[in-house]
Amino acid sequence: KLEKATYPVEGMTCASCANSIQSMLSAREGVHEANVNFASKTVQVAYQPEAVTPAQLRETVQEIGFDILIEQ
């Protein structure tokens, strides 16, 4: 069963940043879908909790120099 979450994104300064984050997350194992909203500086992720944790999603985003707030 898919888990859906919305996280604030830090470090996005142009729309290309949003595309990078979206591609990176979408390619991560366990991620069904990722949608970055540049205007609201958030990312919506649908993922399989058995395959990937929010902490691992955060690490993936940090690998390319951004961050997400995973504390709800």
Q: State how far the Cα of 27 lies from the Cα of 40, in Å rounded to an integer.
A: 22
Binding mask 31-70 vs ligand 9UX (x if CB under 6 A, - otherwise)? ----------------------------------------
Q: Which residue carries 């205007």 as its tokens?
A: 39
Q: State how far the Cα of 11 lies from the Cα of 17, in Å rounded to an integer.
A: 8
Is 17 a binding residue for ligand 9UX by CB under 6 A? The answer is: yes
Q: State how far the Cα of 35 lies from the Cα of 25, in Å rounded to an integer.
A: 9
Indicate the residue among 14 and 39 with the shorter CB distance to ligand 9UX.
14
Positions touching ligand 9UX (CB under 6 A) are 13-14, 16-17
